[in-house]
Chain A
C-alpha cells in the first residue's frame, strides 16, 4: 500500500510543528488562547482567498449553471458517505449507518456515480459525520480553537479528527493508475464548488465588525450542533444588569 500524502497524523503534525517552532503561544483570552496566531492565519487565508480562490469561484459560477454545480456537489458529497458510514458505526448509530450505506449504494448506481441524489427523494436524507464529531460524541472536549493555513477553522480535537478521517475513509485505499492525481483533482473541484456556494455567506462575514470573531463563534456553534445532532440556541441566561431592567 502506498503512503498517502496526508495521513492520520497530517493535521496533528502541522500543529505540533507550529507549536515547536514557537509560532503558537497561548494568550490571555480563555475562549481563544491562540488568538494572535489564529488571527494571523485568518488574515493569511483571507488574503489567499481574495487573491486566488474567490476569483476562481466567481469564474466557476460564470461558466457553470445550477444543475451542473448541484451535480458536482452531489458527486463529491457522495464520496464522503463511506466516511460518514464509518463514523456512524463508531458512534453506535447503526440505523443511521444503514441509511448512509443505502444512500451510497443507490446514489452510486441509480444516481450515476453520485451525480444525482435519488436517495433523498426516496426518503434517505443525507447526514454528515466525521471523526471530530465521533470524538465529541465520545466525550472528548474540543480543545482550543485553531485557524490553520489553507485549512481554516478547526479545533485541536477536529484537527486530529481530520487526519483520522483520511485514514478511516475506505475510498482512500484502492490503488489505480494516477490515483493520487485523481483524488487531488476531485478534492480541488469539490473545494471550488463549495466555495462558489459560499460566495454570499463569506461576503456577509467580511462585512461584520470583526469577521474573525464571527467565524470563530459560528464554527463553535456549528460543531456543537453537529455533535449534538440537534439545534443549539444559545441565549444569555445570566441575571440582567439593573440598567437594562430600569424602565
Chain B
C-alpha cells in the first residue's frame, strides 16, 4: 500500500512538473527575438534625428508595414463587414485606414521614443500564435510600461507578423486593433454598413489631427501622464 502511495505521489509530481514545463518548452523564442528586433527598429525610426519629420514618418510607416500586415489588420477591424466588402470599396477604405492607423500608432509609440524595449517572456496561444510580453519605460510617465505583442508565425515558420499590440494602462491592457475593431463594427452597424460613411468619419478625425499638429495643441491621443 505504501509503495502504491509513493508511486502515485511520484506520478503526480511528474505530471505537475510536465504541465508546469509545457509553456516554456513550447514557447517560440523566435517570436520573442522578432519582437525585440523589430519593435526597437520602429522606436528608433521615431527617434532618428538625422532625418526630417516627413522622412521619419515615412520610415515609421515602412517599418510598421514590415512588422505588421496592415491590409490584414484593415480588414479585420471591419469585423463581419470585412467579409462582404467589395474589393473596390476595400481599396478606397484601405488608403484612408492606413493613414489613420499610422497616425494613431505613431502617437501611441511616441510615448516610448528613445527608449529600449526589453522582451521579458512569451506564451504560446497555439502552434502559430504567441503573446510576447515586453517592458519599456514611458517617457511621459517615467514608469516601466508592459507592452504585449500578439504574434503570428507563417505556415513555413520562416516569417512572423504582429497581429495586435496591447499597452498596459495601470493593470488593464488596451489592445489597439481589438479596440479599433469594436469601434469600427459599432460605427458600421449604426450606419447601415456604409464604408463611405466610415471613410468620412476617419477623414474628420484625420483633419482634426492635422489641425492639432498645425496649431501646436499636440495629439488628442497622448496619455495623461
Contact = CB atoms under 8 A, between A and B. Distances in A.
A208 B201 CA distance: 10
A204 B220 contact: yes
Contact of B175 (A212, A234, A240, A247): A234
Contacts of A208: 183
Nearest to B154: A247
A200 interface: yes
Interface string B112-156: 000000000000010011010000000000000000101010110
B29 to A, nearest CB: 20
B24 interface: no
B75 interface: yes
B69 interface: yes
B159 A203 contact: no
Interface stretch (A14-22, A97-105, A225-233): A225-233
Contact of A209 (B129, B131, B201): B201
Contacts of A207: 205, 208-209, 220-221
26 contacts: A198-B224, A200-B222, A204-B221, A207-B209, A207-B221, A209-B183, A209-B201, A209-B205, A213-B183, A230-B171, A231-B172, A232-B171, A233-B148, A233-B173, A234-B178, A235-B131, A235-B150, A235-B166, A235-B175, A244-B72, A245-B128, A247-B69, A247-B152, A247-B155, A247-B159, A247-B161
Contacts of A65: none
A183 interface: no
Interface in A201-227: 201, 203-204, 206-210, 212-214, 217, 221-222, 225
A204 B222 contact: yes
A180 B166 CA distance: 45
Size range of the interface on B? Answer: 35 or more
B217 to A, nearest CB: 9
Given A207-B220, A244-B76, 15 more contacts: A204-B220, A204-B221, A209-B183, A210-B183, A210-B186, A214-B179, A217-B179, A231-B172, A234-B178, A235-B148, A235-B150, A235-B175, A235-B178, A244-B163, A245-B152
Given A217-B179, A233-B166, A209 B187 contact: yes
A236 interface: yes
A240 B129 contact: yes
Size band of the interface chain A makes with B: 20 to 34
B184 interface: yes
A37 to B, nearest CB: 14
A243 interface: yes
A246 B69 CA distance: 12
A121 to B, nearest CB: 18
A116 B112 CA distance: 32
Contacts of A231: 168, 171-173
B182 interface: yes
B171 A245 contact: no
Nearest to B209: A207
Interface of A: 197-201, 203-204, 206-210, 212-214, 217, 221-222, 225, 230-237, 240, 243-247
A232 B168 CA distance: 10
Contacts of B186: 210, 212-213
A85 to B, nearest CB: 23
A243 B72 contact: yes
A160 to B, nearest CB: 24
Q: Which 4 A-B pairs have the closest CB atoms?
A: A231-B171, A207-B220, A200-B224, A209-B183
B85 interface: no
B221 A244 contact: no
A24 B178 CA distance: 29
B44 interface: no
A246 B184 CA distance: 23
A234 B155 contact: no
Nearest to A236: B178
B75 A221 contact: no
Interface in B36-70: 69
